[in-house]
Every structure is written in C-alpha cells, then in structure tokens.
Structure 1
Amino acid sequence: MTNHMLASLVESPGNATPLRILDADSLERWLATQEDHVRSWVAANGFSAKSGNFCALPDGKGYLGEMLVGVDDFDDIWSYGSLPYSLPPGTYEIQPALGSASANAAALGWALGSYTYSQYRKVDRLSASLVWPLNCDPVTVQRLVGGIGLTRDLINTPANDMGPAELEQAARSLAGTHGASCQVTSADSLLEENYPAIHAVGRASTRAPRLIDLRWSGGDESAPLVVLVGKGVCFDTGGLDLKPADGMKIMKKDMGGAAHVLGLASIIMEAELPLRLRVLIPAVENSVSGDAFRPMDVLQTRKGLTVEVGNTDAEGRLVLADALSEAGNETVDLLFDFATLTGAARVALGPDLPAMFCNDDALATALLRHAETQRDSIWRLPLHQPYKQKLKSKIADLSNISEGPFAGSITAALFLEYFVPPKTPWVHFDIYAWNQSDRPGRPTGGEAMALRAVYSLIEERALTGRTPSNDSA
C-alpha cells in the first residue's frame, strides 16, 4: 500500500550499502578503471548492466563493499522497479550521485517497485530500503507515489468492498484531506436532477447508483478550471448481455477510470496548483435483475439526446455521457476523462499502451511531449468523424454501439464526443488499468496509466499559463 511504498525510501542511517548505478556504456568505462580481480569478479557473476542485473562486490576484507546495479537507461523508472524485492534485505544508498532526472526516476521506480496490496493478507517479506537519492525532489516523488498508490489500491479492492458507496467514501475522504467539497446525487434523486442515463445503468443493483462531484480551488475564481471525469462502474456483469466468466473475472477494475481521476486529483491538490478542479464520477454497478435496462431500450440523457441500447455491456459510455454533459454547465479550460471503455483499444494497442483521443491538435501534441518526457507512454488514435455514421439509430438520436465489428474504440470516443461541450479542449483515455503479470515496478493488478503525463501537462499549464493555442511543443 502507499505507506509501505514511501517507507521504502529512508533518510540516511549512516551504514547503508553503496549502490552503484551503471548502464552498458558506463559499465565499460568503470571497468577500465578497476583492477584485474574486480573485472574478473564482475565477469564471473555475469553482470552486464542490464535492467534487473545486480552484482555484490566484496571489499578487500571479504565483506560487501558495494552493490552494482544495471539499468537500461538512467532516467527509466522501471529499471529501478525490481530492486526492492530482488536485492537482499537492507538499506542502500546510490553512490556516486545521479543527476536530478535520474535521481527522481530512481526514487519513484524504487517506491513503485515496493508496492504490495496487503489489505487481506500479511506481507511476510519487507522490501529493501533506499536512502533518498541526492539531487532528487522528494516532495514531487511523494505526491506521485501517493496518487499512483491510491489509484492502484482502489482498483485492487474487490467489488464486495468497493461498490458505489465505498467509491463515494474514498472521494469524500480525499476531499476532507484537502479541504475540497464533495456533493453526491444518488438513487432516484438522479432522475430528479436529470441524470437519467446514470440511473438507468445502475438501477438494477441493490447498491444505489450515484454521481460524485468533488470541487477544489487552489486559486481565485478566475483561475483555469480543470475537470476530470472517471468511469466508476464498480463491477460490470455486462447486464442482460451477460459477459462470459473469463470476461467478467477482473471486472472489479471497471472503475479504473474513477480510480485514475481520484489519484490525479490527489496529486494536483497536494501540489496546491493554482487552478480550480472538479472531479465527476458516475458510480454504478451494472447488474442483472428484473429492473435492468434492456437491449433496444431507448434511454434519455442529461443533454437531451436519446440513445438506443444496442448492447447493455456498452454501459460505461452511457454513464459518462451524463457526466460529460454536466461538465458543460460551466466554461472548462481542460477536460479529461479516463475509462476502461473498450476491448477494441486493447486489440489495437495491447494492455499496456493507453489509447488517447483529443479534439485539439495543439493539446494532443503537448500531451504527447509530456508523455515522452515522463516516460509514460500513450498513443493517439483519431476521432475519425465519418465513423459517426456507424452510431445511427432508426428510432433514437444515436445508438450506444456501432454497426459492425470495426473501430470500436474510435466509435466509443465519437459517442462521448456528442456529450462534450463545444470548443472545450477535451482528452479521452481508453485504458486497461491492469497489469496482467508481474513486471519490474508493476505487479499484477491495478495500474495507473498516463497519470504522470497528464499531471505534468496540467502542472505546466497551471504554472505558466500556457494554453492549447499558444503551446509550442
């Protein structure tokens, strides 16, 4: 959990084992300065300075003198991610010091590599500890660790303990920590307040649907307004178009979008950025009962558009439609939504590369620049307008699914675009929010995707006043 992640980074106790970070080039240069017996020892241990490699180097008395650690790139956070659990238990200190970007990468990668979800079981083995690296920015690292850890924790919590009410409580707790307000509209009040699509999707569950609305201000009322919308489907059976067992197995992660916007909001508020922040989360459970919405039903939406239900398993876009429409009640400077929306995005890009859609080229270019700088990969897909024809319905304004099997991620994004306020800079992320297997720094389970890139862009805009129109990527 998050506290354990930060606990793996410590102040210097004075007896830490030196940790020498090397890539292939620096290893060659370092070996050229060493005596023959050292070169022989390193070669005998098969140390090649690749990510995940390490080599214990004895001193002249036979004790551990220092630990050599390989990285693919000094600024790659995942090159440090395996170390907390692969190195022998103990405390380590990077010597000689790294540059600031590399030091931040080392601290962040180490902390993320220390993550274990331990809500329901005891963790038997503590990870190794790292002295906060010289030249790193601990405050920034702590914010990122907190936001990413929160995102992972929320996604990993099973649905029996993370329904709409528990997601609301997580938002209220975050709001209380940072002096934000949190208003919630739930159950039949959703109909009274004109959120009919959220109500329709969630009404079959015994756990009442709701719209969570968090507001915070780090500036005056003229400060830019950033709105984050997150899909909060706490469990998705598929509804009456029931998912098969394999498809339903990890559907506790279908509130991954909500987890992302809460994690991102925590970083923004912790940094006290000079902006106004709003977080909207439609929180529902897509269940099966006599009150479930049906295929071919026509649903009302907050915007006034009618939607024919082509498939009840395309419910995420329905609840997002009402939330995005609500975002349009005021002038928004930046609008982001995160959603575990389509399998089509995974077919196109795989589970580890989030699909990004954007209606503003300058904003998209800037975001891709931040993604590259932060090493937080995203890939832009097009809002190909001719595909809107695929969303036609014979009896309603549009259908919630496209005709035919093609371009599913694009048509889902185009569906959402109907509900985005005109001329509002908008970014939609179609994410998987899950690690399918253990990798350095990324254990199996819930994962934060594109969070560091988006925060970096928001921070830059807040601190410099840059807008999509004047961004010089």
Structure 2
Amino acid sequence: MTYDPTPLFQPDRGQSAHTIHVVTKDAFEGWRTAQSPRVRTALDAARVEAKPGATAILPGAEAEDWSVLLCVAKTPLGTWDLAKLAETLPDGSYRLDGANAGAALLGWALGQHAFTRYKKPDRTPGRVLLTAEPARIAEAVALARATAVVRDLVNTPAADLGPAELEAEAAALAETHGAQLTVTKGAALVSGYPMIHAVGQAAATGREPRLIELEWGNPAHPRLAVIGKGVCFDSGGLDIKPSSGMRLMKKDMGGAAHALALAGLIMGARLPVRLHLLIPAVENAIAGNAFRPGDVLATRKGLTVENTNTDAEGRLVLGDALTRAGENTPDLILDFATLTGAARVALGPDLPATFANDDALAEALLAAGTASEDPLWRMPLWDGYDEMLKSDIADLLNAPDGGFAGAVTAALFLRRFVPEHTQWAHLDTFAWRPSGKPGRPKGGEALGLRAVWGMLKGRYGAA
C-alpha cells in the first residue's frame, strides 16, 4: 500500500510544458481582453464563466501548443484548486501562470491517487507539475503518501485487514525507520490489558486481539504518545448492529490508520520527539465466548468498568492503551478514533470532534487545522456530564443510557485513563467521505491528520 507521488513534480527549469493560466473571477475580464481573437472565440464557444473551478482547453498557434484556463476564487491557491485538473488533464507536463502552486501541490498529488487493490484504475498517475517552489515538494509528497496510507487502509475490507495485518503495517513502518516494535497478545494481553482482550476475545483464530507498540527517537527528546483505535471490524458484539450499521465497519480501524500515517510523518521528518505509537488491534466479533452486556471488566489502570453496551467497545480498548501510554510520563498524548455516531450527528462527516484537556493545545490544533484546510471543531469535556458514567456495581460504566451527549461522555470515559497532569487530545474522526469531490474520492479519508501534523511541527520544530 505505497503511493509515491514524487514523479508528479519537477522543479521548473524552463522545460517544455503546457501552461495553466490561473485567473481569479475579478481578473477574468481583463485577462480575457488581453487574449488573442482565437482564444476569445474558444472561450465564447465554450461559454466559459469565471466561476471558481471552471476550466477550458485553449488553442495555441500550433496544434500541440494548447494551454489550460483555471478559474479560482482567490490566490494564493487552496489545497484542492488543482485537484480537478490533476484528475482530468491529458498526461504530460504543466506549469502555472498567474500563481504558485503552494498548498495546491497536495491536491495535485491526491487528484492522481486511487485505491487499486481490487479494481484496475481508470487512469494511472501521469500529469507532472513543474513548480517554481521545489522546496515545497518534499512536504507535499509526504502528506500525500500519509493521506494515501489512511485511505488505502480504511478502504481495505476486514477479510484482508485484521489485527495481524495492522501488526504487519506497523512492523514495516518500524523496519523502514529503525524503530522498535513490541506486540502483546495471548496470556500477556489477558493479564496486562484486560479490556483489549475482552473486546477481541471472540475473534477467530488468526485474528486474535493484540496491543501493537512502536518506539522511535532519542529518549532525551519529549515523549509523544500517538494512539489509534484499531477495531478492524465491529459487528457490535452481542449488542449486534443492524446490517446497515455494519456495512462500513471495515473503517472502524480508521483511528489506527491515522496513527500509522502520523507516525510515518513524524519519523520521516525526524521530528525531535520520542515517539510511542500504540494500536489496540481487535475484531469485535460474536461467538460463545464474546463479552456480554452487564459484564464487569478489569482494566490496566485498576478501575472496574460495567460494560453496558458491547457496541461501545472502542473506548474500552483505548482505555487500556491510554493507561499504557501514561506510564512513561509523556509530554503529550494524542488519540484518533472512529468512536461515536453522536459526533457525526453533531458535526457531520467532515469535522472531527476534537476534545482537549488543555486550552492552549486545543487552540494550537484548531489553528493548525485552519492553516492546513483540515478543519477541526472543539467539543467540551463537560464535567457536569461525568456523573453519567456512574455505575451501581463498578467504578464506572462505558455507555450511559439515553444517548445524550454521546461523543462527550465517550471522551469523558477516555479521560479517566489519562494521567491528570498530562496534555491530551482526542479526535473522534469519521475517516470516511460519503461522496466524492476533486482529489477526495468517496471512501476512506484522512480527517484531522494534516491538522495534527501542523500542530506537532509548530510545537516541536524540526530535527
């Protein structure tokens, strides 16, 4: 699952290429007036209006001397302004006239990415952009690769991506970057991470639950824990989902996909941190030994949890992982999870519900999301709802009755497993795009990845 967009960019040294004329709505009439009669005739024949996203092929003096018009809302260009052209133009080399590509380099790369494991693509990458900003290529390539990692992993059906395959992805990442991989399963998981074991214990042989850990970097650097929910398929357990609710549950490991992609960015850029990646990898299956509604579960932290709903399993596996992360006194803990439908009801598919126990951290995340066009929306860790987690027979329960504030109570549950004075942020992300847009096809999607990466670069700086 490796997408390499590197060949899609070259420094502009005056090579032969077709020109893409970037024109804003306000500048369109002046630009049109300055064109040759032949070009103006072509624009009129195509009935081109200066609406953002409008494009046209423009004739030149010779048959091969054609160029392209791209109308945009404003400059500098946004991330997705070039994505449609990257999808639709003929193969060849192109350069911009009227703007630098800037952030749109990423859209150019992702406009040519497709998930091809099971279906031959309609086109293969072959549109090359010449850029006057060669220093920006490496970051665009890294972000495109990371985004493709998330998309490809989430799009892969559960039959081909279970806990063992997530482990293999982490092992490949560790080998590439010289990191240390540790996997806990079997009896050690039962005793050390009882909630992870409980959720995954009904899975078939070969799909057993495990905690995957990767460590990388100088131990003297600030310790950063990144956790991703790795529920490779969620049937709902004995609180079984309807078929409509189960249809997309291959994506319930979207948090793990984000965490793996972010780890790759961190190690690839050699960010000066001591990275601790944790992925609780399970399948929430149904069998005679499945955990039950009403069971009281032990936890790594020593708390007891009354399981009121086997379909609220993601917070259980994350609880044990958060406890493990906190044992090493990290500077910061981040977790990604496709955790609640309540977050989607509140914010829709595009805005990850973002919870943070520190205002400065939350502000940094939101600012980075805005800067990278990867928006987040902060939700409250409302102390007044903490009483909803009270249990009559255990220290707390996992899913309150009634469904009120479901994303908030899930985050409050997770907070119980975070060390009191450790900064922590939780992204309840959908990891899926219900319908396609240029550069953003329907299917698995990285939502919140660029925002978190931008925050980390601002917080820790370069190596």
TM-score by length of 1: 0.93
Say which is worse superposed, 43-52 or 365-374, in terms of deviation: 43-52
The residue number in structure 2 matching 1:307 is: 305
The residue number in structure 2 matching 1:380 is: 378
The residue number in structure 1 matching 2:53 is: 52
The residue number in structure 2 matching 1:90 is: 91
Q: Percent identity?
A: 50
The residue number in structure 1 matching 2:77 is: 75
The C-alpha deviation readout for 1:27-50, integer Å capped at 9, x for no partner, is 234224334553343233232344
Amino acid at match of 1:30: W
The residue number in structure 2 matching 1:149 is: 148
Amino acid at match of 2:214: L
Say which is worse superposed, 127-136 or 248-257, in terms of deviation: 127-136
The C-alpha deviation readout for 1:387-414, integer Å capped at 9, x for no partner, is 0111111111111112312110011011
Pair 1:75–1:404, CA change in 2 (3 A): same
The C-alpha deviation readout for 1:112-153, integer Å capped at 9, x for no partner, is 111111112222423450224211511111111121111111
Unaligned runs of 5+ in 2: none
The residue number in structure 1 matching 2:440 is: 442
Q: How does 1:66-215 map to 2 (within 5 A)?
A: 66-73=67-74, 74-87=76-89, 89-96=90-97, 98-99=99-100, 103-136=101-134, 137-192=136-191, 194-206=192-204, 207-215=207-215
User: Secondary structure of the residue that 2:330 maps to in structure 1?
Assistant: coil
Asked whether the 8 Å contact 1:56–1:67 carries over to 2, the reply is yes
Matched residues in 1 for 2:9 and 2:114: separation? 15
Amino acid at match of 1:386: G
Q: How does 1:349-388 map to 2 (within 5 A)?
A: 349-388=347-386
Amino acid at match of 1:261: A
User: Secondary structure of the residue that 2:409 maps to in structure 1?
Assistant: helix
User: Secondary structure of the residue that 1:280 maps to in structure 2?
Assistant: strand
User: Secondary structure of the residue that 2:213 maps to in structure 1?
Assistant: strand
Amino acid at match of 1:307: V
The C-alpha deviation readout for 1:33-75, integer Å capped at 9, x for no partner, is 3345533432332323444321111113455421111233443
Matched residues in 2 for 1:11 and 1:124: separation? 28
Asked whether the 8 Å contact 1:98–1:134 carries over to 2, the reply is no
Pair 1:180–1:132, CA change in 2 (3 A): farther
Shift of 1:16: 2.2
Aligned to 2:412, which of 408, 411, 414?
414
Matched residues in 2 for 1:277 and 1:50: separation? 45
The residue number in structure 1 matching 2:227 is: 229
Matched residues in 2 for 1:447 and 1:276: separation? 27
Shift of 1:464: 7.6
Pair 1:423–1:50, CA change in 2 (3 A): farther
The residue number in structure 1 matching 2:17 is: 16
Shift of 1:106: 2.2
Matched, 1:30 2:31: yes
Aligned to 1:261, which of 248, 259, 270?
259
Pair 1:361–1:335, CA change in 2 (3 A): same
The C-alpha deviation readout for 1:164-194, integer Å capped at 9, x for no partner, is 00000000000100011110001222023x1
Shift of 1:340: 0.2
Say which is worse superposed, 335-344 or 395-404, in terms of deviation: 395-404
Shift of 1:437: 1.5
Matched residues in 2 for 1:334 and 1:400: separation? 24
Shift of 1:4: 5.5
Matched, 1:39 2:33: no
User: Secondary structure of the residue that 1:371 maps to in structure 2?
Assistant: helix
Pair 1:382–1:268, CA change in 2 (3 A): same
Q: How does 1:279-290 map to 2 (within 5 A)?
A: 279-290=277-288
Say which is worse superposed, 121-130 or 231-240, in terms of deviation: 121-130
User: Secondary structure of the residue that 1:92 maps to in structure 2?
Assistant: strand
Which consecutive segments of 4 or more residues in structure 1 shift more than 6 A? none
The C-alpha deviation readout for 1:304-335, integer Å capped at 9, x for no partner, is 11111111000000000000000110221111
Asked whether the 8 Å contact 1:240–1:312 carries over to 2, the reply is yes
Asked whether the 8 Å contact 2:18–2:67 carries over to 1, the reply is yes
Matched residues in 2 for 1:399 and 1:435: separation? 32
Matched residues in 1 for 2:279 and 2:51: separation? 42
User: Secondary structure of the residue that 1:82 maps to in structure 2?
Assistant: helix
Pair 1:29–1:275, CA change in 2 (3 A): farther
Pair 1:205–1:212, CA change in 2 (3 A): same
Matched residues in 2 for 1:64 and 1:109: separation? 25
The C-alpha deviation readout for 1:326-373, integer Å capped at 9, x for no partner, is 011022111110000000000000011111001100111111111111
TM-score by length of 2: 0.94
Shift of 1:11: 6.4
Matched residues in 1 for 2:339 and 2:6: separation? 32
Matched residues in 1 for 2:128 and 2:430: separation? 31
Matched residues in 2 for 1:224 and 1:300: separation? 31
Asked whether the 8 Å contact 1:359–1:425 carries over to 2, the reply is yes
Pair 1:376–1:446, CA change in 2 (3 A): same
Unaligned runs of 5+ in 1: 466-473
Over aligned residues, Cα RMSD in angstroms? 1.9
Pair 1:47–1:127, CA change in 2 (3 A): farther
Asked whether the 8 Å contact 2:17–2:95 carries over to 1, the reply is no
Amino acid at match of 1:414: L
